[in-house]
Structure 1
Amino acid sequence: MKVHDMLVEERRRMADLLDGLDPGQLATPSLSTGWTVHDVGAHLITYLRFGQLKIYYGIVTMAADFDRLNRELTARAARMPTSEIAARLRRWATSKTTIPRSGYDPVLADILLHDYDIRVPLGIGRDMPEDRLWVAFQHLAAKPSPGYAVGSRLAGLRLEAEDTGWVSGSGAVVRGDAESLVLAMSGRAVGLDALEGEGLPLLRERVAAPPPRGPLERLKTVVKVVVDPPPVERRSRDAIGGS
C-alpha cells in the first residue's frame, strides 16, 4: 500500500474513533501535554487545507516555533464540536498537503502518534499495522521534520526493535518492541517502561528534560530541510521496500 493511501485510511479511521467517544472520553487529557482528546482531534484538521501556507506563516511570524503555531491553530479548531472535526477529517481525508520537501512520511507519522495520544490514556487497544509503524520509525530516526523537535534526542544511541528487526543509529543500545520505541523516539515517556538497554537511562533523561531550542536553532533546522537534497520521492512509493 502507498503511504498516501495509508494516510487517507488513518484519517477516516480517526474520524470514526472520535465519533464513537463520549463527552468524558473527549475531555480526557491526552499524551500531548495540555491537550485533551478533543484537542488532538482538532489538531489533525489544522493543516488539511492551506497547510503549507500555514507552515510558512509560522516560520515568518513565529521564528519557526512550530509548537506555538500548532497550539494556536489547534485552539481555534477546538472551538468546533467533535462531530464537525470528524466530518472534516472525512471530507478532506484525501488531502495531499505535505510538509515542504518532506513528502507524506511525516504526515503519516504525525497521525499515528496522535492516534496513540488518544488511545493510550483511554485504554483503547489496536494492533498497529507494521508497515505504518515502519514509516514512523524510519522518519523519526533518519531525518525528522522540524515540528517533531527530536533534535539530539537520539544522538549516540542504537535503536533495536526486537519484534521487527529494525535497527537505526550507533552507540549505546535501546531495545524493545517497535511500538514502544516509536513512542519514546517521539518524546512520549509512556513508551520507555517497555524498553531496556544501556542507552535507556540517557534516552529517559532526554525525554524528561529536552534541551531548549531558541529561535536561531529552530530557523537553522528549517533552513537545513530547505537546503538539503529532498528525500527519496515518497508520493508514489510503498511503505516498505517499494517504489
Structure 2
Amino acid sequence: MNAPAVPTDDAALAVLLAQGRRRLADVLESLAPDRWDAPSLCDGWRVRDVVAHLTMPFRYRGPRVLAEMVLAGGFHRMADRVARRDGSRLSPAQLVAAVRDNADHPWRPPGGGAPGALTHDTVHALDVTDLLGLRLEIEAPAWVVVLDQLAGQRSLRHFGLDLSGVRVEARDVGWSTGAGELLAGNAADLVPALAGRSIAADRVHGPGVQRLPRLRRD
C-alpha cells in the first residue's frame, strides 16, 4: 500500500482537525458515566482529565494560561494541575461540548502549526479510547501527518526515544521512515508507542521493538 498524499496547506489540515474533533465528540457522547473515570494512556489521568487537557487551549486564553503557569510553577505542572482540576469540575456533557463546539477552533501549539495541533489531538484521542477498547476513525492522511511529526527528532527527544538504525513501518497506511531493524505495526499502535505511551508488546513487531522502553509484556 502506498502512503496517501499528505496535506500540507492549513485549509486541508483544518478539515482533518475538525473531522477528528467531531468524531471524538461522538465517541465521548456514547460513554457510560463510569467510563469517564477509567484510566487512560496518560499516566495518572482519567479519561475526563485527558479531555479536559485536550480542550484547555479552547477554554483558556493566553493570559489565563500564563497565570496558571505561574501559580503551578511551570508548564508541565500547570498542565497536570489544570487537567485534574477541570476534569473533576466539568461534567461529561460539558467536556463533550468543549470538543464538539470547538471543532473549527484555530488553536495551534507554539512552533507546531496545524500538524502539531493534529498530533496533539490524535495522541490524546487515542489516550482516551485505547484502554476503553474503542475504535476511533481517523483518515489515512491524518495518520501520516501525525506519524511524520512523532518520528521527527524534536519529538523523539521529547519522548526519550532513540530510533537510529530502525525502520518504522505503519503498513496499514503505507507509511515508513528510517532504515535498519524493523519496527512495524498499525498506525493506531505506533502513534501511542512513538508518543511515549505504554502499549502491549504484541501490538508491534520486529527487532526494533527493543527501542520502545515502555512496552507492556503482560
Indicate the percent of aligned positions where both proteins have the same amino acid. Answer: 30
Q: Is the CA contact (8 Å cut-off) linking 1:42 and 1:74 kept in structure 2?
A: yes
**What does 1:1-243 correspond to in 2, within 5 Å?**
2-50=12-60, 66-78=75-87, 79-144=89-154, 149-190=158-199, 192-203=201-212, 205=213, 207=214
Distance 1:46 1:88 in 2: 9
The one-letter code matched in structure 1 to 2:178 is G
Distance 2:151 2:196 in 1: 12
Distance 1:169 1:66 in 2: 32
Q: Deviations over 1:70-112 (max 9, x none)?
A: 2122123211111112222223222111112221112111221
Q: Is the CA contact (8 Å cut-off) linking 1:184 and 1:191 kept in structure 2?
A: no
Distance 2:70 2:150 in 1: 25
TM-score (norm 2): 0.79
Q: Is the CA contact (8 Å cut-off) linking 1:37 and 1:118 kept in structure 2?
A: yes
Distance 2:151 2:62 in 1: 23
Taking a change above 3 Å as real, the CA distance of residues 102 and 194 of structure 1, as seen in their structure-2 partners, is same
Query: How much does 1:133 deviate?
Result: 0.9
Gaps of at least 5 residues in structure 1 are 209-243
Distance 2:62 2:136 in 1: 31
Aligned match of 1:224: none
Taking a change above 3 Å as real, the CA distance of residues 84 and 49 of structure 1, as seen in their structure-2 partners, is closer
Distance 2:93 2:167 in 1: 43
TM-score (norm 1): 0.72
Q: Is the CA contact (8 Å cut-off) linking 1:161 and 1:176 kept in structure 2?
A: yes
Distance 1:44 1:7 in 2: 13
Distance 2:63 2:113 in 1: 16
Gaps of at least 5 residues in structure 2 are 1-6
Distance 2:58 2:127 in 1: 19
Q: Deviations over 1:121-168 (max 9, x none)?
A: 22222443211111110100125569x932444344321223333221
Secondary structure of the residue aligned to 1:104 is: helix
Taking a change above 3 Å as real, the CA distance of residues 145 and 180 of structure 1, as seen in their structure-2 partners, is closer
Distance 2:63 2:163 in 1: 30
* Deviation >6 Å, runs of 4+: 54-63
Taking a change above 3 Å as real, the CA distance of residues 161 and 10 of structure 1, as seen in their structure-2 partners, is closer
CA RMSD of aligned residues (A): 2.9
